[in-house]
Amino acid sequence: MKFKVRGIDTFASTGGRPFDKNKPLIIFVHGSGLSHMVWVLQTRYFAFRGYSVLAVDLPGHGLSSGESLKTIEEMGNWVGDVIGAVGCKEASLVGHSQGCLVTMECVAQHPEKIKTLTLMGGASAIPMNPELLKLAEESNPKAVDLMMDFAHGPAGHFGGHPVPGLYHLNVGSMIVQNKEIKDTLGVDFRACDNYKNGPEVAKKLDLPTLSILGAQDRMCRLKDGKILADYIKGSEVKIIEDCGHMMLLEEADQTLEILKKFIAEHYPLPS
């Protein structure tokens, strides 16, 4: 659906159900250069099980208007504003990769609004390889190819998508190339590279938190994901074997099952 955040047209997938502000809200936040489309194998499930979901396109991404936000702090604040913009008071957040930094910042800035936090493929800092950063800021398509290479685990490079017929290396690539690379991926990579508050923010989090980590993640390595989880008080950790950074596509079923259990326990539907 389209709605306005700070006066700018914003798009979020509602998982195929009409948005209802009276239902418990889950917001999904995508990673660098991506869009709502990466969440389709998680959002539809919750949307048809009593939740309202918003898989948002960050400003300048996917179907949202405006320019990409330049810092993780701004993005986190913007996600907090989304909640009020759709007439809700609170939400659970699910972030992937850069979306983990963004959702942590959102909790830090709007602690009263956020009930649970799920971090997929996260780390407390995501420093960028300088060559990759330069390629992205020059809109060189090689940046996308490298990102897709790093983002998928060894098994993911062979394919075997949970949805028959999809070849996920190319799906991710086309989602990123939907926009000018430097305006989305380039800006996002720079924002990740600049962000240094991760450890401090993580240490202050005080809400039910789940980290889903890929054992073969080369973008945010398993050990970095574990360090982040260790910073967060009481954080649950689930590791998916034989999986890279794109667990939400590479191992969509396992990811959904883990998320279902966490949400059911910590953010249940009203009885």
Partner 1 sequence: MDPKTYKFDTLSLHAGYQPSKNAGSRQVPIYQTTSYMFDDVDHAAALFNLERGGHIYSRMSNPTVQVLEERVCALEGGTAALATASGMSAIFLTIMTLCNAGDHMVVSSQLYGGTVNLFRLTLPKFGIKTTFVKPRDTEGFKKAIQPNTKGIFGELVGNPGNELMNMPEVSNIAKEAGIPLIIDSTYQTPYLCRPFEHGADLVVHSLTKWMSGNGSSMAGILVEGGTFDWMQNDKFPSMTEPYDGYHGLSFAEEFGPTAFTMMARAEGMRDMGPCLAPQNAWNILHGLETLSLRMEKHCSNALKMVDYLSNHESVAWVSHASAPGHPDKELAEKILPKGTGSMIAFGIKGGKEAGAAFINNVKLASHLANVGDARTLVIHPASATHSQMDEATLKFAGLSHDMIRLSVGLEDFEDIVNDFEDGFRAAKKPRLVANK
Residue numbers at the binding site for partner 1 (CB under 8 A)? 13, 16-18, 35, 37, 40-41, 44-45, 48, 63, 129, 131-132, 142, 145-146, 148-149, 155, 157-167, 169-171, 174-175, 178, 242, 252-253, 256
CB nearer to partner 1: give 87 or 159: 159
Give the C-alpha separation, 136 to 158, whole Å.
25
Under DSSP, the state recorded for 269 is P
Give the C-alpha separation, 216 to 240, whole Å.
9
What is the smallest separation between the CB atom of 35 and partner 1, expressed in angstroms?
Answer: 7
Length of the chain: 271
Give the C-alpha separation, 78 to 73, whole Å.
9
CB nearer to partner 1: give 152 or 182: 152
CB nearer to partner 1: give 80 or 156: 156
What is the smallest separation between the CB atom of 130 and partner 1, expressed in angstroms?
Answer: 10
What is the smallest separation between the CB atom of 260 and partner 1, expressed in angstroms?
Answer: 9
Give the C-alpha separation, 138 to 8, whole Å.
26
* DSSP states of 110-143: -GGGEEEEEEES--S--PPPHHHHHHHHTT-HHH
CB nearer to partner 1: give 77 or 97: 97
C-alpha closest to that of 67 among 179, 217, 183? 183
CB nearer to partner 1: give 175 or 246: 175
Compute CA distances 182 → 60, 170, 176, 179, whole Å: 11, 19, 10, 9
What is the smallest separation between the CB atom of 104 and partner 1, expressed in angstroms?
Answer: 27
CB nearer to partner 1: give 192 or 259: 259
What is the smallest separation between the CB atom of 199 and partner 1, expressed in angstroms?
Answer: 28
Under DSSP, the state recorded for 23 is S
* Helix (H) or strand (E) segment spanning residue 78: helix 72-85
What is the smallest separation between the CB atom of 93 and partner 1, expressed in angstroms?
Answer: 20
